[in-house]
Chains A and B, each alone.
Chain A
């Protein structure tokens, strides 16, 4: 049996959130190929789900020491199997992870997220993020006590019975040339500060690179939403993008 086959066998026996967290933290699984197996070009892609006005300037925050540096690997944001894979292929974390300020957390409030996980992710010049499919493990780890006993939905890769968990990226500055964001098969470019990108995190392989000369700050938000209808509407019709105002 190959490593991936063994991995899939264990995965198929995941019943609870606790089982899932143990599964992904198992150093013997083939995490990268397991997660990559969910990439589906029929479902893959992104859309602009909202726009936010009056986002504060974040330039001064980017000079702070990040929680996790782009050039380092950290068990906080990666599983053991992931870490080994990234080390073998010379990748770092791909972005500086900063704690989101209260002001930035208001963005998540305004969008209607319920108790979200949110971080200021800045991709400095010269850094890049290896291709991957998400598993929202950070979100789950941050709520282990609350969630571990719950049944796990292997189809949606989240706790069973709960609302859909969404992930989005809020552009905290305008796009600059050289900044590459590839949600396969498309590239997100020319964004304006305040654009909110939603994507099918379950099925979209993505990678990012900063081949330009300016920082690239995003706010990454993960969680359920009070009312996600505007996100679904925007997915169907890009002329129906809802605008929110932070002020």
Chain B
């Protein structure tokens, strides 16, 4: 196993230093070798508890390939199996977005836009935020930066601060366990490459804080503890403008209105965002777990008014 200078940490530890890797020679070339992807995929499918899976994932020698290997997506899958509108939220969006814009201006989010992970790449004022770091393996960010993705998006904290009480209220509508909400604010010219999610941030919190979840069997298809569905929803905070691209495989989510909420097959569906417009693009992203049987697992639609 090639040393990656990765230091195992809990979700509460600040990742000060080990962001830079010794070298990038362990990063695999694209397109990935299908045979190697298959062997990793076969390994993903072996029975494990959630804790065992996280331990396996964190120290995997081909970590940069694991997310891609975990996708079960086959081209030609119907759009509605990739993403669908699960909710509509009616509220005073202009009040919320003007507060977000004020926050963005005060913190120079549009100007300081190289998402260099040696610094905390969230915008935060609170102590609690500083101690809560997303699980980002070095190889993932290194691979992205190596391919030119240096200006991605900015994350503005919602769950752990009191800056956006209306958005916290919206978060509660969905009744997530281990829920975490952020504003995903993509300045103009920002781009996040095509990738498959693991939702390790809420997953890891749950494992470390709840031994029952830690010892629950891991479902490698849904990437969730059995009995639950890890879920990620996206809420448009402003109307779409042309040039804002959100791609799910070959499908495009566009023409959204503020309050439109989508649920998507994050476990398998590759997605990317590109902001070719001249307007920043704020969305709220909420990730967490819901139990089997929750309305979000049934492809239902709900409308809310706040």
**Which A residues are in CB contact (< 8 Å) with B31?**
176, 213-214
Known: A209-B245, A214-B30. A131 touches B194 (CB 8 A): no
Residue in contact with B276 in the complex, picked from A130, A176, A178, CB distance below 8 Å: A130
User: Residues 203-229 of chain A: 1 if any B CB is under 8 Å from the residue's CB, otherwise 0?
Assistant: 001011101111000000000000000
Any chain B CB within 8 A of the CB of A124?
yes
Give 1 or 0 for each of A122-145: 1 = CB within 8 Å of chain B CB: 001111111100000000000000
Residues on A with C-beta less than 8 A from B187 are 90
Chain A residue with Cβ nearest B252: A187
- Residues of A80-98 whose CB lies within 8 A of B: 85, 89-92
Bound Cα distance from A131 to B240, whole angstroms: 14
- Minimum CB–CB distance for A74 against chain B, Å: 16
Minimum C-beta distance from A131 to chain B (A): 4
B188:A91 contact, CB within 8 angstroms? yes
Q: Is A184 an interface residue (CB 8 A)?
A: yes
CB pair B193 A128 closer than 8 Å? no
Nearest CB of A to B259, in Å: 22
Interface 0/1 of B29-46, CB less than 8 Å to A: 011000000000000000
B30–A128 touching, CB < 8 Å: no
- On chain B, which size bracket covers the interface? 20 to 34
Q: Report Cα–Cα, A22/B294, bound state, in Å.
A: 63
Asked if B242 contacts A128 (CB within 8 A), the reply is: no
Query: Which A residues from 173 to 214 make CB contacts under 8 A with B?
Result: 176-178, 180, 182, 184, 187, 189-190, 205, 207-209, 211-214
Q: How far is the CA of A209 from the CA of B148 in the complex (A)?
A: 12
> What 1/0 flags go to B240-258 for Cβ under 8 Å of A?
0011010101101000000
Q: Chain A residues near B275 (CB, 8 Å)?
A: 128
Within the complex, the shortest CB–CB distance from A104 to chain B, in Å, comes to 24
- Chain A residue nearest to B272 (CB atoms) is A211
Q: Are B147 and A130 interface neighbours, CB within 8 A?
A: no
B93-136 CB contacts (< 8 Å) to partner A: 110, 113
Given contacts A124-B148, A129-B276, A213-B30, contact A207 B243 (CB under 8 A): yes
Q: Say yes or no for B277: interface residue by CB 8 A criterion.
A: yes
B252 touching A211, Cβ below 8 Å: no
A91 CA to B275 CA in the complex, in Å?
Answer: 10
Docked complex Cα distance between A152 and B277 (Å): 30
A137 to B110, CA, bound (A): 30
**B221: interface (CB < 8 Å):** no
Q: CA of A85 to CA of B276 in the docked complex: distance in angstroms?
A: 13
Cβ distance A186 to chain B, nearest Cβ, rounded Å:
9
Say whether chain B's binding surface is mostly helix, strand, loop, or mixed. Answer: loop
B70 contact set on A, CB distance < 8 A: none
Partner of A177, one of B150, B270, B273: B270
Q: A130-B278, A178-B272, A180-B245 are in contact. Are A211 and B194 (CB under 8 A)?
A: yes
Q: Are A125 and B276 in contact (CB under 8 A)?
A: no
Residues of A within 8 A of B110 (CB): 90
Contacting A184 at CB < 8 Å: which of B149, B242, B272?
B242
B274 contacts the other chain (CB 8 A): yes
Which A residues lie within 8 Å of B242 (CB)? Answer: 131, 184, 205, 207
Q: What residues on A are CB-neighbors of B194 within 8 Å?
A: 177-178, 211-213
Q: Does B151 contact A (CB under 8 A)?
A: yes
Q: What 0/1 readout, one digit per residue, does chain B (258-289) give for beta carbons within 8 Å of chain A? A: 00000000000010111111100000000000
Alpha-carbon distance between A187 and B243 when the two chains are bound, in angstroms = 12
Q: Is residue B189 contacting chain A, with contact meaning CB distance below 8 A?
A: yes
Name the CB-closest residue of A to B192: A211
Cα separation A184 to B272 with both chains bound (whole Å):
18
Residues from chain B with a CB closer than 8 A to the CB of A207 are: 242-243, 245, 276-277
Nearest CB on B from A175, distance (A): 10
Q: Is B159 an interface residue (CB 8 A)?
A: no
- Flag whether B191 is at the interface (Cβ < 8 A): yes
A126 B113 Cβ-Cβ under 8 A: no
Query: Within the assembled complex, what's the spacing in Å between the Cα atoms of A130 and B274?
Result: 10
Query: What separation, in Å, do the CA atoms of A177 and B242 have in the docked complex?
Result: 21
Which B residues lie within 8 Å of A214 (CB)?
Answer: 30-31
CA distance A132 to B147 in the complex (A): 25
In the bound complex, residues from chain A placing their C-beta under 8 Å from that of B149 are 125-126
Structural contact, B188 and A90, CB atoms closer than 8 A: yes
A131 and B278 contacting across the interface, CB-CB below 8 Å: yes
User: Once bound together, how far apart are the Cα atoms of A203 and B216, in whole Å?
Assistant: 57
Are the C-beta atoms of A126 and B193 separated by less than 8 Å? yes
Asked if residues B188 and A89 are in contact (CB atoms below 8 Å), the reply is yes
Q: Which of A85, A91, A127, A180 gathers most chain B CB within 10 Å? A: A180
Report A85 CB to chain B, min CB distance, Å. Answer: 8
From A32, A128, A177, A187, B191 is in contact (CB under 8 Å) with A128
Contacts of B245 in A (CB 8 A): 180, 182, 207, 209, 211
The 10 closest A-B pairs by CB, nearest first: A126-B148, A207-B276, A209-B274, A211-B272, A131-B243, A213-B30, A178-B194, A90-B189, A125-B147, A89-B188
Q: List 13 A-B contacts (CB under 8 A).
A: A90-B110, A90-B189, A125-B193, A126-B144, A126-B147, A126-B191, A127-B148, A128-B189, A131-B278, A177-B250, A180-B274, A187-B252, A209-B274
